[in-house]
């Protein structure tokens, strides 16, 4: 009896010790713990076996990141070594797909195999999570056999840089965060009413005028903010130059992240109209809004061909900057009351034989889609693009909930699930009484604690197996009306971004809230050591909240 107890105790201690060491997010497909460990130190050599894919970039990333984490600087060896190595190898294994990898950690060395450099990058992220964050000269990694690949191919986060502007450094730090947790798509919200954030050479006023607003940061974000007065200095804002954008796109791609630019239309574009009034139906001069606008009635005119010329010019420059297959064109929340009384819009309806304003909206989106397709790109838009008939090849982001996504999938359109009630990370994540201000609960505000985000499954029960194939994946949204600083941004993102990471990557049968929470507790401390802010209260916040 005693012997059994001692053995049990030993076993419990051993496994909790191991658990503390192995706290990978997102949880891998298969992970087997073996006996022993490898010691990593300055003598550990990185070796790239074969050269059919570019593995030198991932190798450089590993070396840089590990040095940042531990102070240990590894070197690349041009010859294979038999001990104390980290070896990358390209293989041809269809079961791993484009993003999967295998990693064998043994006492003599670590072997990481994948079909692509992306797969290698994800293996590196796993290895970095198995490495400490403290300045040391050596550390142990337990012997493991890992076989891993994602459940979904779109694992995204939206960053709204319009409502508040963030520096290049902040955007890169956000990209680092995404990369660490194997997210692969950044939807970069560069256009909205209170700020146009992307340099367009052909239309310099977009950033000369549209990127700047009168600062009302001392008043809470709402429709009640004092509007800008004519002649008042617009001092809040900024934009990314094309050079900065190229640099950020490259930075992201080195981390296996694709940036999908979001260029809003036909609504959420008052910053553009303030720059070029001819773009709206009324063609009247307006100022860049200082805060929220609701309903949004100042939109691009659907009857004016110069508007389409403008948009094609803008998109041409956008396409040149972003290699991404997808271009997000927004499409949400347009109040189209001006279209109903605009002679040009009415004339367009007549010539195009459109019976409703919804159909005119659909005409607008289809025309843009045709242009994007002619440039070899794909259109993605918020679920409103379903209204009045969906453009033939469009992909839909479902955000009001999952209904739009279900509808689109049944119509055989690809879908990204980004439901506000589970994955809007601008929302309160714990008791509103003690949290920093977020969208108000008596208006459009919701309550999205970590446990709620984690409970989301992207494939609704309403879809059969065939229809489920249209679910490309998931996305979390960081809208930033209430998020003026980088510290606050991190506070809203961490740890909830871990949840979207695991929803997007880990197979459903491997998900487990208690297990995820224990790994999250380890990972928030890691993030803190890396200089990120995070929210502690959401770790224990209940699923529902009673006022
Ligand atoms: C709705 S979601 C929006 C955004 C806001 C967000 C705030 C969507 C497509 N539109 O413009 O920032 O709510 O939570």
- From the candidates 99, 148, 160, 192, give the one annotated as an active-site residue: 192
**Ligand 1: distance of its center to the CA of 334 in Å?**
12
**Ligand 1: distance of its center to the CA of 382 in Å?**
10
Q: Determine whether the shortest distance from the Cβ of 424 to ligand 1 is under 6 A.
A: yes
Q: Determine whether the shortest distance from the Cβ of 399 to ligand 1 is under 6 A.
A: yes
| Alpha-carbon distance values, 73 to 14, 107, 136 (Å) | 30, 20, 11
Q: Report the alpha-carbon distance of residue 200 to residue 258 in Å, rounded.
A: 21
Q: Report the alpha-carbon distance of residue 281 to residue 160 in Å, rounded.
A: 26
Q: Which is it for strands 326-330 and 45-49: parallel, antiparallel or unpaired?
A: unpaired
Structure tokens at 121: 């990058």
Q: What's the pLDDT score for residue 459? A: 98
**Ligand 1: distance of its center to the CA of 406 in Å?**
20
Q: Are 190 and 198 in contact (CB under 8 A)?
A: yes
Q: Is 312 a catalytic residue?
A: no
**Ligand 1: distance of its center to the CA of 422 in Å?**
14
> Nearest residue CA, atom 2 of ligand 1?
399
Atom of ligand 1 nearest to the CA of 192: 11
Which residue matches tokens 């100042």?
298
Q: Is 333 a catalytic residue?
A: yes
* CA neighbor of 124 nearest in space, from 26, 70, 47, 58: 58
Q: What's the pLDDT score for residue 391? A: 83
Q: Is 305 a catalytic residue?
A: no
- From the candidates 164, 189, 268, 328, give the one annotated as an active-site residue: 268
Q: What's the pLDDT score for residue 21? A: 65
Write out the H or E segment, with its range, that includes residue 60.
helix 56-70
Q: What's the pLDDT score for residue 225? A: 96
Q: Determine whether the shortest distance from the Cβ of 439 to ligand 1 is under 6 A.
A: yes
Q: What's the pLDDT score for residue 2? A: 44
Beta-strand ranges (E) seen in 209-333 are 212-213, 236-237, 258-265, 326-330
Which residue matches tokens 């104390």?
84
**Ligand 1: distance of its center to the CA of 340 in Å?**
24
- Report the largest interatomic distance among the alpha carbons of the chain, rounded to a whole angstrom: 90
Q: Report the alpha-carbon distance of residue 180 to residue 182 in Å, rounded.
A: 6
Atom of ligand 1 nearest to the CA of 445: 14
Beta bridge partners of 475: 156
Q: How far is CA 424 from the centre of its chain?
A: 11
pLDDT tens per residue across all 547 residues of the chain: 444 444 444 443 333 333 346 999 999 999 999 999 999 999 999 999 987 778 889 999 999 999 999 999 999 999 999 999 999 999 999 999 999 999 999 999 999 999 999 999 999 999 999 999 999 999 999 999 999 999 999 999 999 999 999 999 999 999 999 999 999 999 999 999 999 999 999 999 999 999 999 999 999 999 999 999 999 999 999 999 999 999 999 999 999 999 999 999 999 999 999 999 999 999 999 999 999 999 999 999 999 999 999 999 999 999 999 999 999 999 999 999 999 999 999 999 999 999 999 999 999 999 999 999 999 999 999 999 999 888 889 999 999 999 999 999 999 999 999 999 999 999 999 999 999 999 998 888 999 999 999 999 999 999 999 999 999 999 999 999 999 999 999 999 999 999 999 999 999 999 999 999 999 999 999 999 999 999 999 999 999 987 6
* CA neighbor of 276 nearest in space, from 227, 205, 200: 205
**Ligand 1: distance of its center to the CA of 479 in Å?**
7
Q: Whole-structure pTM over 0.85, yes or no?
A: yes
Testing ligand 1's pocket by substitution, the residue of 266, 330, 333, 405 carrying the most ligand atoms inside 8 A of its CB is 333
> Nearest residue CA, atom 4 of ligand 1?
479
Instruction: List the Cα angle 459/464/468 in 5-degree steps.
Output: 40
Q: What's the pLDDT score for residue 547? A: 60
């Amino acid at each position: 009896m005693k012997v059994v107890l001692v053995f049990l105790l030993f076993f419990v201690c051993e496994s909790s010790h191991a658990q503390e060491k192995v706290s990978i997010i997102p949880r891998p497909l298969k992970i087997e713990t073996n006996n022993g460990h490898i010691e990593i130190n300055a003598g550990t050599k990185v070796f790239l076996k074969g050269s059919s894919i570019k593995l030198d970039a991932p190798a450089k990333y590993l070396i840089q990141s590990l040095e940042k984490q531990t102070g240990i600087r590894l070197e690349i060896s041009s010859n294979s070594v038999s001990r104390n190595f980290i070896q990358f190898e390209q293989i041809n294994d269809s079961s791993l797909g484009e993003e999967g990898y295998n990693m064998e950690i043994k006492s003599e060395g670590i072997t990481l195999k994948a079909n692509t450099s992306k797969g290698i990058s994800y293996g590196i992220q796993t290895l970095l999570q198995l490495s400490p964050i403290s300045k040391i000269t050596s550390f142990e990694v337990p012997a493991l056999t890992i076989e891993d690949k994602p459940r979904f191919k779109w694992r995204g986060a939206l960053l709204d840089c319009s409502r508040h502007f963030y520096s290049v450094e902040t955007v890169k730090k956000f990209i680092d965060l995404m990369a660490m947790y194997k997210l692969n798509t950044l939807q970069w919200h560069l256009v909205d009413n209170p700020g146009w954030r992307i340099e367009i050479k052909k239309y310099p006023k977009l950033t000369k005028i549209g990127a700047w607003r009168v600062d009302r940061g001392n008043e809470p974000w709402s429709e009640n903010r004092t509007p800008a007065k004519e002649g008042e200095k617009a001092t809040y804002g900024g934009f990314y130059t094309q050079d900065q954008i190229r640099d950020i796109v490259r930075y992201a791609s080195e981390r296996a992240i694709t940036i999908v630019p979001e260029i809003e239309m036909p609504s959420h574009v008052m910053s553009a109209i303030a720059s070029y009034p001819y773009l709206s139906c009324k063609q009247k001069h307006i100022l860049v809004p200082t805060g929220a606008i609701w309903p949004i009635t100042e939109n691009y005119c659907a009857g004016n061909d110069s508007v389409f010329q403008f948009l094609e010019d803008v998109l041409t420059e956008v396409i040149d900057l972003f290699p991404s297959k997808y271009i997000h064109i927004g499409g949400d929340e347009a109040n189209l009351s001006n279209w109903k009384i605009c002679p040009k819009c009415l004339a367009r309806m007549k010539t195009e034989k459109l019976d409703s304003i919804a159909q005119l909206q659909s005409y607008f989106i289809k025309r843009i889609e045709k242009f994007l397709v002619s440039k070899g790109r794909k259109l993605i838009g918020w679920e409103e693009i379903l209204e009045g008939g969906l453009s033939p090849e469009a992909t839909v982001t479902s955000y009001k909930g999952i209904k739009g996504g279900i509808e689109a999938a049944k119509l055989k359109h690809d879908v990204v699930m980004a439901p506000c009630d589970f994955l809007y990370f601008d929302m309160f994540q714990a008791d509103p009484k003690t949290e920093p201000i977020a969208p108000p609960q008596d208006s459009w505000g919701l309550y999205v604690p970590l446990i709620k985000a984690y409970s989301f499954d992207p494939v609704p029960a309403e879809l059969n197996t065939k229809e489920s194939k249209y679910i490309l994946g998931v996305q979390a949204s960081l809208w930033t009306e209430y998020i003026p600083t980088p510290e606050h941004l991190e506070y809203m993102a961490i740890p909830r971004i871990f949840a979207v990471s695991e929803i997007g990557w880990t197979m459903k049968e491997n998900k487990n809230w208690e297990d995820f929470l224990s790994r999250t507790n380890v990972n928030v401390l890691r993030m803190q050591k890396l200089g990120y802010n995070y929210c502690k209260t959401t770790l224990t916040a209940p699923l529902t909240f009673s006022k």
